[in-house]
Amino acid sequence: MASFGTPHNRASELALEIYANVLEEVRADRLVQRAVERAGDYLFVHGNHIDLSSFDRVWIAGAGKASVTMAHALGDILGPKLAGGLVITKSGYGFPLPGIEVIESSHPIPDETSLLAGERMIQFGESLTEKDLVIFTLSGGASALMESLVPSVSLEDLRATTQALMANSSSISQLNYVRSKLSRIKGGKLSQVFFPATVIVLVLSDVIGNDLRIVGSGPFFTPSRTVLRSRFTSPIVFPQGLFSKPVSDLRENQSLNLWSAFPDVQHYVVGSISVAIHAATDAARAVGLGPLPYADPMLGEARTMAGKICRHASQRNLYHQCMIFGGETTVTLHGNGIGGRSQEMAVAAASAISKLPNTCFLAAGTDGSDGPTDAAGGIVDPDSMNRARSAGFRVPKTLKENDSYHFLEACDGLIKTGPTGSNVNDLVLVVQAEN
């Protein structure tokens, strides 16, 4: 399944084994199978039942990097009850689903294919009646993959806004807050399009705390007016001049009337980073390591978080143990290199790890895609700095140029998995094991 960098010590070997086990445990099809079962005409989701016989047609729709894998498992459960459907995913992440249309589009920066996918989803929703049931498989990535813009905003406005926010270390909450203001389908608006059909949403969360407003920009989530008032009367502060005028005008609009007619849609979270943390804990124990899972999520600047983790590791006696962290960091772009938040964490940790014998630092996403690269993340050991240095790379210059991909490539530390069929945030493992 994976093409990992070559482990250069026992700790790296065990860390990669643990990471591979985690990817198997968080596969979206496995998580759907655990959450959903069918008995005759009754479908049970987390124990709540739905009478399929009360509908003329049952559809699967979805959007996100793991949505096709989720839909595949759900289709097997529904069997002949399934009428068809439409699922949108990242380019290269799709595969054929019997009776279901699969569309691939752009991520992380939306393009024309994202708009075409969004319009196709609107067409699908508008074809539904009150006798239809739609089970929507939602996972991270949907925000970029599926879009329909309000008339005053162009695709170039959206692309420039997305790139600016990502380059300025914006969190996924900040990014999707702005996206929802520019969209005809985000922030609960797709629920109006699908009305009067009955919709339930299966959510594979890549957001800390499983905030349903944020996962995929919440296309069906309609929070209470109290929540909306609190959220939109205290707007997030962004740097001056970050947005074009059409985007600024929309972002500053605090109107709440838009949500008053939204139908309620039931959401079920079938998987999140907590599943990955538990899986890593079990996998570490299975290979003979003492697991040290940390409840506090990784947040903030990637290189800063890596420094905190390494300082914590250096202050502990990590003999034959595995520190486990989950979350999602951010990167402020200063240079023109390539990489992602997990790769930047690994490079930022390289210097500290070089002083910790028989240790390694692994940082990788669970979706197989770290930033706009073909790598899921990276791994460094005590000799990684020497291997990178022999190829002409230095940590300070690499971080200044945001070129973590090429640094890790030079020290044989890239982790490449391809599409994993999941997306539940990022994982960091710090392993100490005698050779």
Distance CA 309, CA 313 (A): 6
Domain locations in the chain as residue ranges: 3-24+274-432, 40-271
Task: Summarize pLDDT for 101-114 with one digit per residue, the tens.
Answer: 999 999 999 999 99
Q: Which residue has the higher pLDDT, 364 or 226?
A: 364
Q: Which residue has the higher pLDDT, 198 or 250?
A: 198
Distance CA 366, CA 279 (A): 12
Helices (H) and strands (E) in the chain, counts: 16, 16
Token pair for 373: 């690269």
Residue 300 is given by DSSP the state S
Query: What is the torsion angle, in degrees rounded to the nearest 10, for the CA atoms of residue 75, residue 78, residue 81 and residue 85?
Result: -30
Helix (H, G, I), strand (E, B) or coil at 233: coil
Distance CA 76, CA 141 (A): 24
Over 60: is that where the pLDDT of 294 sits? yes
Q: Which residue has the higher pLDDT, 77 or 243?
A: 77
Provide DSSP, 133-166. Answer: EEEEEEETTHHHHS--B-TT--HHHHHHHHHHHH
At 9 the pLDDT is 95
Helix (H, G, I), strand (E, B) or coil at 435: coil
Q: Which CATH code is given to the segment(s) 40-271?
A: 3.40.50.10180
Distance CA 358, CA 266 (A): 48
At 234 the pLDDT is 40
**One fold for 3-24+274-432 and 40-271:** no
Token pair for 321: 């143990």
Distance CA 381, CA 353 (A): 6
Q: What is the pTM of this model?
A: 0.91
CATH topology of domain 3-24+274-432: glycerate kinase, domain 1 (3.40.1480)
Task: Summarize pLDDT for 315-369 with one digit per residue, the tens.
Answer: 988 899 999 999 999 999 999 999 999 999 999 999 999 999 999 999 999 999 9
Helix (H) or strand (E) holding 58: strand 57-63
Residue of 203, 270, 275 lying closest to 427 (CA atoms) = 275
**What are residue 188's phi and psi, to 5 degrees?**
90, -5
At 253 the pLDDT is 59
Distance CA 59, CA 52 (A): 11
